Amino acid sequence: MTFVPSRNRPIAKHPVAELARHVAFHDQDEDRLTLEIGPGFGDSERVVRADQFVVPDRYRERVTGRHVLLVDDTWTSGAKMQSAAVALSDAGAEQVTALCVAR
């Protein structure tokens, strides 16, 4: 695994590498959650809407007051990832970091 180096910090540890390392060695299933499709999913795919995704009640305690890492496999317009981030914030996440694997 490697990461594109930063021109501003060529020797420093890459922040995404540090985040990936932390997540990779974090085996706590009780910290993971799955968003569900919300009632607004697909109505307008390129518009940010909090109702595209829902944090299930059973996962609320995993979100409230926490820093949530949101991972998506593809970025097209960014609306789905941003909508998921809004849903997580609305569910009580203190901070949401979005990580996209491909564009």
Q: Is the Cβ–Cβ distance between 93 and 68 less than 8 Å? A: yes
Q: What is the pLDDT of residue 92?
A: 96
30-81 pLDDT tens trace: 677 888 888 888 766 788 888 999 999 999 999 999 988 888 877 788 888 8
β-strand 53-54 against 95-100: which pairing, if any?
unpaired
Query: Quick check: pTM over 0.95?
Result: no
Q: What is the pLDDT of residue 1?
A: 46
Q: What is the pLDDT of residue 90?
A: 95
Q: CB under 8 Å to 79, separation ≥6 — which residues?
A: 45, 46, 47, 48, 49
Q: Is the Cβ–Cβ distance between 81 and 103 less than 8 Å? A: no
For residue 46 the two structure tokens come to 């390129």
